[in-house]
Amino acid sequence: MRRLLARSLATARAPLARGVAAALALAVASSVLAASTSTAAAPATAGAEHHPGRDAWFTSWAASQQGLAPTPLRDQSLRMITHLSQGGDAVRIRVQNTFGRTPLTVDAATVAHSDGKDAATRGRPSAVTFNGSRRVVVPPGGEVWSDTTALRTAAQDDLAVSLSVSGTVAPGRHESAFRTNYLTPPGSGDHTADPAGTAYTATTGSTLLVSAVDVRNPRLRGSLVAYGSSVVDGTGSTNCGPDCSRPGADLRWTDVLARRIASELPPTRQFALANAGIGGTTSAATCPGIGEPVRGLDAAARLERDVLALHGVTGVLYYYGTNDLPAGCDAAQIEASYRAVFGRLRAAGIKVYVTPITPRPGYTDQHNRDRHAVGRFVAQWNNCGGTCDGVLPFDRVLEDPVRPNSIHPPYDTGDGVHANIAGQQALADIVSLPMLAASARR
């Protein structure tokens, strides 16, 4: 049965290498995942019994919406390239108008395989429907999940999601895609069914409107969501050294971890991994120095739409706090935000794995005292004093052994804050896959 999820959400402005990693892996307390079921009309119920072959939907890719793009769409098509962590025998997509102030009209949508290099598709795109119709109107502050589209995919496939938008509308976006996406000219109409990319003459470095792709795969054990700020989002993941960049190569630590899961775990112990990072955001909402562009995007405020509304979620990798300190939060405020978010996740049956706050050269002495206090809280009993399920020592991976307030030079993009491609690899290598497999509920 085709089903549509259309729900109103509050408008958003309310508003190292392997050798080192292997040694550090002994310190990893836990990492995630288990199977759970969900339907197109509701978030995953993490404690539900898993029935192979029935409602076996898992979010395989995500890009959290964070605001409106500066340039409106006008009677044109867009083609967003999404990189799947796992595949299946069918897909469905989520389209969001969370930040929109006017209705969003999608006249047509398609999905197709892509090589990720340009706007062309591999084969003719398959039509996507919403409650049985090609056309859907998404109200301001709303979102829709599509019907099931039969399309066989595999882990690490690139999927082109195309939408034709009528009228004039400011589209919601995830600002940094770390790859190129494509648009036709304004007024050009519907090109969603085009296998060729010739109509898509404009490009964008953002991901517009499309915020999640689910796959149907009863063999998966769950979806893991990486949740945090810019190091989760992927800042630094295209940096391969001075004057060297590799956009579109999918080299974030979450991408590398997804490849490790697909290649190193047996078929009976496979998981999807979705990225819900937004650069510049904080864990706590109470930091006085939060900038206007990310106000209202703290961890608790966006938890429902960016984690709980995804499907099959059984674990979260929580990487927050690096922006809280310079934004004026102290250890008590950060710990309070952790407890609140962890409580909601664990109440939903979702395991939580936390990394202590990673180093920055710009931290003051007081910032470092607070960082130490938060780190002690996270490390207590290796489970945040009983409020989380394990610790990932990403701080130790990135820390310069000579200058512990700085990032290890081989992993530094040059800003002292973000990990380059080598650092992203080192973060992914620290995660214990046997531990992930052991966390499966069935």
Task: Please determine, for residue 12, whether its predicted confidence score (pLDDT) is greater than 50.
Answer: no
- Reported as half-sphere exposure (CB side, CA atoms, 13 A), residue 118 has a value of 9
Task: Please determine, for residue 9, whether its predicted confidence score (pLDDT) is greater than 60.
Answer: no
User: Taking the model in full, what pTM does it have?
Assistant: 0.88
Report d(CA 6, CA 144) in Å as an integer: 5
Strand-pair partners of 202: 183
Report d(CA 65, CA 54) in Å as an integer: 29
Neighbouring CB atoms inside 10 A of 333's CB total 21
Among candidate residues 4, 304, 6, 310, the one with its CA nearest the CA of residue 138:
6
List, for residues 232-273, the tens digit of each pLDDT value: 999 999 999 988 999 999 999 999 999 999 999 889 889 999
Task: Please determine, for residue 323, whether its predicted confidence score (pLDDT) is greater than 90.
Answer: yes
Domains plus CATH for the chain?
A: 6-39+218-438 (3.40.50.1110), 69-211 (2.60.120)
How high is the pLDDT of residue 440? 65
Neighbouring CB atoms inside 10 A of 339's CB total 15
Task: Please determine, for residue 72, whether its predicted confidence score (pLDDT) is greater than 60.
Answer: yes
How high is the pLDDT of residue 2? 40
Predicted confidence band of residue 53 (pLDDT cuts 50, 70, 90): very low
Higher pLDDT, 75 or 26: 75
Type of residue found at 284: A
Report d(CA 153, CA 262) in Å as an integer: 13
How high is the pLDDT of residue 40? 36
How far is residue 112 CA from its own chain's centroid? 21
In the structure encoding, which two tokens stand for residue 413, read together?
A: 């993009």
Report d(CA 328, CA 285) in Å as an integer: 11
How high is the pLDDT of residue 20? 40
Task: Please determine, for residue 47, whether its predicted confidence score (pLDDT) is greater than 50.
Answer: no
Strands of 243-308 (E only): list them: 244-245, 270-277
Q: List, as one string, the DSSP characters of 316-356.
A: EEEE--TTTTTTT--HHHHHHHHHHHHHHHHHTT-EEEE-P
Higher pLDDT, 109 or 437: 109
Q: What mean pLDDT comes out for the span 99-110?
A: 98
Of 23-32, 300-309, 421-430, the poorest mean pLDDT is in 23-32
Task: Please determine, for residue 67, whether its predicted confidence score (pLDDT) is greater than 70.
Answer: yes
How high is the pLDDT of residue 79? 98
Answer left, alpha or beta for residue 158, where phi above 0 means left and psi between -120 and 50 means alpha: beta
Q: What mean pLDDT comes out for the span 193-206?
A: 98
How high is the pLDDT of residue 404? 86
Task: Please determine, for residue 383, whether its predicted confidence score (pLDDT) is greater than 60.
Answer: yes
Name the strands in the sheet holding 390-391, side by side, starting at the edge strand that comes first in the sequence. 270-277, 220-228, 313-319, 351-354, 390-391
Report d(CA 370, CA 305) in Å as an integer: 30
How high is the pLDDT of residue 30? 36
The DSSP symbol for 70 reads S
Report d(CA 350, CA 312) in Å as an integer: 10
What are the start-end ranges of the H helices in 10-163? 18-25
Predicted confidence band of residue 192 (pLDDT cuts 50, 70, 90): very high
How high is the pLDDT of residue 434? 75
